Amino acid sequence: MAATVRLDLDGNPIAPMTICMIGAGGFIGSHLCEKLMAETPHTVLAVDVYSDKIKHLLDPPAYAEGQQARHPWDGRIQFHRLNIKHDSRLEGLIKMYDLTINLAAICTPADYNTRPLDTIYSNFIDSLPVVRYCSENSKRLIHFSTCEVYGKTIGSFLPKDHPLRKNLLRREPLKLVDGGQSQRTFVYIKDAIEAVLLMIENPARANGHIFNVGNPNNEVTVKQLAEIMIQVYSKVSGEPPVEVPTIDVSSKEFYGEGYDDSDKRIPDMTIINKQLGWNPKTSLWDLLDSTLTYQHRTYAEAIRRAMAKPVASS
Ligand SMILES: NC(=O)c1ccc[n+]([C@@H]2O[C@H](COP(=O)([O-])OP(=O)(O)OC[C@H]3O[C@@H](n4cnc5c(N)ncnc54)[C@H](O)[C@@H]3O)[C@@H](O)[C@H]2O)c1
């Protein structure tokens, strides 16, 4: 059966492309690799220092009886362990691929105060050679960044290791920094990946633009988010909510001296909507239901076992 030809937003056939994806082993990278392998003919060189989150795409599936099983995307994804900070092979790799996607960064707010120099290097200085090699070799680049680049405004993704979620699984109270009054918007990772795929496959509409990828409809205070997460997790796990669901901590106690954050961030969807026709679809309740179901299935038993172990004392 002939494969269906993929069309771009202007109705033109999309030719298979080769992608050098830096930071492919992270949260967004692993979801993007899954999407590219499952739904497109594109080839990916996954560049990272870790590969745990994409191991399932790289390793061959279990042998079926009498025959070697293969992934449908066999041969289209390859992992290259490389630190972009100091590796002379980077330019050679970028030259070989049609498109470079740079996701490598330190992007955990708790690190901003404790590792400020690493954060600045990782988000800015370490990326400069990537930008230079793409520019000098006339290669397309899609570069990711956090909403922090805007200063005190604009929207946010749901971080993968959200401390609220870890506490939920451990049945510990959720910590609300400064009363949890900051407002945030949350976009479902699968919606965000749809937006990135549109950028990849529609260069004529995407090149030269800066896109916010967020969901302005999913705006809540962190306190409201905690309350919804408690309800959703109780439904997902079948366990009653903990007796003391939240406790207040000061930002100084939680993040350390000098932590500063926005009170409100709303992503402006005008450009992404106009150029790519993209709109997020998933409601806050549905994205939490899907995320917490996954977390519960994957980690709850391991956490319960770890917590049941006696703690060594000296
Ligand atoms: N996840 C979010 O909530 C979110 C929100 C807004 C923006 N972003 C942006 O998207 C990008 C990716 O975010 P993520 O959540 O996937 O982050 P992540 O931490 O899960 O993934 C980043 C990956 O980059 C790799 N990496 C870091 N430094 C490297 C180096 N020197 N050489 C090679 N690999 C290196 C890490 O090993 C990691 O696998 C970042 O720029 C981030 O700021 C993420």
58-109, pLDDT tens digit by residue?
988 776 666 677 899 999 999 999 999 989 999 999 999 999 999 999 877 7
Check if 26 has its Cβ closer than 6 Å to any atom of ligand 1.
yes
Question: Is 10 within the bounds of a domain?
Answer: no
Residue having the nearest C-alpha atom to atom 11 of ligand 1 = 103
Does residue 139 sit in the same domain as residue 155? no
| Domain stop point among 121, 145, 169 | 145
Map tokens 């692993």 to a residue: 30
Whole domain around residue 191: which residue ranges? 151-307
Q: What is the pLDDT of residue 269?
A: 94
The residue whose CB lies within 8 Å of the most ligand 1 atoms, and thus the one to mutate among 20, 21, 48, is: 48
- Please indicate whether residue 85, judged by its CB atom, sits closer than 6 Å to ligand 1: yes
Which residues have C-beta within 8 Å of that of residue 66, sequence separation ≥ 6? Answer: none
Whole-number pLDDT of residue 218: 95
Angle at 96 between CA 93 and CA 99, to 5 degrees: 90
| Length of the chain (residues) | 314
In a domain, 11, yes or no: no
Give the Å distance between the CA of 24 and the centre of ligand 1.
8
CATH code assigned at 73: 3.40.50.720
The total domain count for the chain is: 2
Task: Please check the confidence at residue 314 and state whether its pLDDT lies above 90.
Answer: no
Lowest mean pLDDT among 27-31, 96-100, 290-294, 297-301: 297-301
Distance CA(277)–CA(16), nearest Å, equals: 22
Give the residue, by CA position, lying nearest to ligand 1 atom 1.
159
Tokens, residue 9 = 């937003």
Whether the pLDDT of residue 165 is over 70: the answer is no
| pTM for this predicted structure | 0.88
C-alpha triplet 269, 190, 7: angle, nearest 5°: 80
Concatenated DSSP letters for 200-228?
HH-HHHHTT-------TTSEEEHHHHHHH
